[in-house]
Amino acid sequence: MSTFHVVTLKCHISSNSKQTREHILRHGHKGIITMNTGAKMESTTTLKSAFAPPRSPGVRLIYIIVEYLLDDVFFCRDKIHAERNPPLPQTDFATTTQRDFRVEGFVPQTTKINRFHDYTTEQAISYWSENYQRIQGVSAVECPNTPFRKSAQFSTPIGELREDIDAFI
């Protein structure tokens, strides 16, 4: 046999074994577990056969009177449980808006505007702007339109301060 024939034979064997390997990986090995490939599998396993569910003996194990007593006990137990644990009331998930403003018959009323307000020039009205005289630690107010501006009256000489007060009176 020449070298050429040996090389071709090896290539032929390796390519042929590749095809069988791909076929085996796709379809599995035939005949490893059983030689009879047409046989059906067993429906029971060793676990099912070893741990079978218990069967009834076919005769009454508890007397009829005991069964009636047990029924009464379970009935009383359920009745007491229902008395001690009443069902929870239905939870109301309504918000304040839904409860107060979306009630039937509610008619929203808008107030009439007495005069036009310019928010860019007028002082904002708040609790502090209305009660600026009661706030401690705030400078004396020269003009009621601007109650929170800085005032230099504490450093003004008394003589000049009297002149300003006389001008206001």
Q: What are phi and psi of 119, to 5 degrees?
A: -70, -15
Best-predicted range by mean pLDDT among 41-55, 69-83, 100-114, 122-136? 69-83
**DSSP designation for 110:** P
Residue 146 belongs to a domain: no
In-domain check, residue 134: no
Q: In this structure, how many other beta carbons lie within 10 angstroms of the beta carbon of residue 147?
A: 20
User: Above 90 in pLDDT, residue 73?
Assistant: yes
Question: Which pLDDT value is given to residue 19?
Answer: 61
Give a yes or no: residue 82 inside a domain: yes
Contact 148, 132 (CB under 8 A): yes
Q: Which residue has the higher pLDDT, 14 or 76?
A: 76
- Domain membership of residue 73 (yes or no) is yes
Most confident of 34-43, 83-92, 142-151: 83-92
Mean predicted confidence (pLDDT) in 8-26: 59
- Structural domain including 77 reads 60-86
Question: pLDDT grade, residue 34 (50/70/90)?
Answer: confident
Residue 144 pLDDT: 63
Q: In the structure, what pLDDT confidence band is assigned to residue 162 with cuts at 50, 70 and 90?
A: low
Residue 142, number of CB atoms within 10 A of its CB: 14
Q: Per-residue DSSP letters for 53-78?
A: PP---SS--S-HHHHHHHHHHHHHHH
Planar angle of CA 33, 38, 43, nearest 5 degrees: 75
In a domain, 19, yes or no: no
- Residue 1's SS3 state is coil
Both structure tokens of 75: 């009935």
Domain annotation covers residue 101: no
Number of domains in the chain: 1
Residue 76 counted as domain residue: yes
Is 169 inside a domain boundary? no
pLDDT score of 124 more than 90? no
In this prediction, residue 12 has a pLDDT band, given cuts at 50, 70 and 90, of: very low
